[in-house]
Amino acid sequence: MRHAGVIDIGKTNAKVAVVDLASRAEIAVETRPNRVLPGPPWPHFDTEGLWAFVIAALRRLHAAHGLDGIAVTTHGACAVLLDAAGGLAAPVLDYEHPGPDDTRAAYDRLRPPFAQTGSPPLPGGLNIGAQLFWQFAMDPALRDRTAQIVTWPQYWGYRLTGRLACDVTSLGCHTDLWDPHLGRPSRLVARLGLAGKLAPARSPADHLGPLLPGIAGLTGLDPLVPVICGIHDSNASLFPHLLDRTAPFSVVSTGTWVVCMAIGGASVTLDPARDTLINVSALGTPVPSARFMGGREHDMVLQGRVGQAGPDDISTVLRRGIMLLPSIQPGSGPFPDRRARWTGGDRSGGQTEVATGYYLAMMTGECLGMIGARGPVIVEGPFAGNRHFTGMLAAATGRPVVATATRTGTAVGAALLLRPPGAGTTPGPDRPIPADPALAAYAARWRALVQAASAPAAR
């Protein structure tokens, strides 16, 4: 096994990558936006557009590099309802659609408690159970049309192999459908009338099957090329570190979402009102986690205007206390009910860039504190290359911070699920982030302002 083909469906973009398993390096990538179609009956993912992209990319990448196996990783909060013929029983709902909020009160009477599922109540369709409840209310015949439900990575595996499955990391991603402590579906599955309709839960590394003959013909791949079950993207980022590191440590997976995961951390009581949750690792173990929509917030503030900041901008931000306080994206994260505000007066584009990086780091530090993170902090994904983010994160946590060399760890982590047992690979080089004492006072001031905004008004 040398080259893995990885189908990586992120919330914002989709890609197909070739990963060299020995070096853990992406050697080729093709991408396209993950478009949402407006409906009817509801906003939904462009499954056929994505499928055409995947097939074409696999064909080109295999011709250029030779693919020895295929892994799939996707964002969470997404389920696919299949009819008896194996087609879509309904379009695949975009989890950002607010429709499920309309039936939230009735749904909350069914959903199991946080203590059982580790799944907090989230807005829109971020809980798959809430999605399903709302969809069945909108289309009363849908439940009967639905023969099987698969999670998002396994839908693409099903298109490749014809085999049905869910995986434990996707079911464990705030779905309300999974009990991570017992490793089995929660009581909600039966309460929704879905007993027997949820595809079997499997390990992400399980061999799903060989390619369907027609897919082999379209891509040029060997029909016997293995396709593994697939994995939730944040857990794909975590997986290489589970192989390489000794607890305690934490991983910060960055993209549209910033997801913080603590391995071997302190015992803490998670607060579901602040977007903490239990994820399930590729090894099937519960992982205390917290997250916020950091990549989305970064793009909303900067709108592509990056690379402007210089040393004078940094010194001005620190001297004047230019700060962005939570939250840009309401409804999730550690401060879901806050509205963002700036301090420090007018600012240039470069100063906005610096302060935004600092804001994202402080929010990440809050997430790590809530989950009892200990030991070094490993930053994966686009923010690993953001020096304002990584420098302030070291100040905010007071612990070693290292940035990974790869732009995204999801594809590499998913690819490593294909490696044969006992096969050696080379961990990617880490970049230690030097501590800067000048940032510590800024971090303390940011926290003080946030805490003051939380304090009750004096009488």
Domain boundaries, the chain: 3-229, 238-454
Q: How far, in Å, CA of 262 to CA of 288, rounded?
A: 6
Q: How far, in Å, CA of 80 to CA of 38, rounded?
A: 17
Q: What is the pLDDT of residue 330?
A: 86
Interaxial angle between packed helices 438-454 and 349-370, expressed in degrees from 0 to 180 and rounded to the nearest 10: 70
Q: What is the pLDDT of residue 457?
A: 43
Can you say how many angstroms the Cα of residue 392 is from the centroid of all Cα atoms in its chain? 22
Same fold, 3-229 and 238-454: yes
Q: What is the pLDDT of residue 453?
A: 84
Residue 404: partners with Cβ closer than 8 Å, 6 or more residues away? 378, 379, 380, 384, 428, 430, 431
Q: What is the pLDDT of residue 314?
A: 97
Average pLDDT per 10 consecutive residues for the chain, totaling 459 residues: 96 96 94 96 98 98 98 97 98 97 97 96 95 98 98 98 98 97 97 97 96 98 97 94 94 93 97 96 96 96 93 97 95 92 96 98 98 96 94 96 80 93 67 91 97 64
Q: What are phi and psi of 218, to 5 degrees?
A: -70, -30
Alpha helices for 128-246 (secondary structure H): 128-138, 142-145, 152-161, 168-171, 188-191, 213-219, 233-244
Q: Which residues pair with 420 in a beta bridge?
A: none
Q: Which fold has domain 3-229?
A: Nucleotidyltransferase; domain 5 (3.30.420)
Task: Write a three-state SS string for 2-71.
Answer: CEEEEEEECCCEEEEEEEECCCCEEEEEEEEECCEECCCCCCEECHHHHHHHHHHHHHHHHHHHCCCEEE
Q: How far, in Å, CA of 144 to CA of 162, rounded?
A: 22
With 0-12 / 13-18 / 19 or more C-beta atoms within 10 angstroms meaning exposed / middle / buried, residue 58 is buried
Q: Which helix (H) or strand (E) holds 116?
A: helix 114-117
Can you say how many angstroms the Cα of residue 192 is from the centroid of all Cα atoms in its chain? 26
* The overall pTM is greater than 0.85: yes
Q: What is the pLDDT of residue 425?
A: 62
Q: How far, in Å, CA of 169 to CA of 237, rounded?
A: 12
Q: How far, in Å, CA of 175 to CA of 32, rounded?
A: 27
- CATH dotted code for 238-454: 3.30.420.40
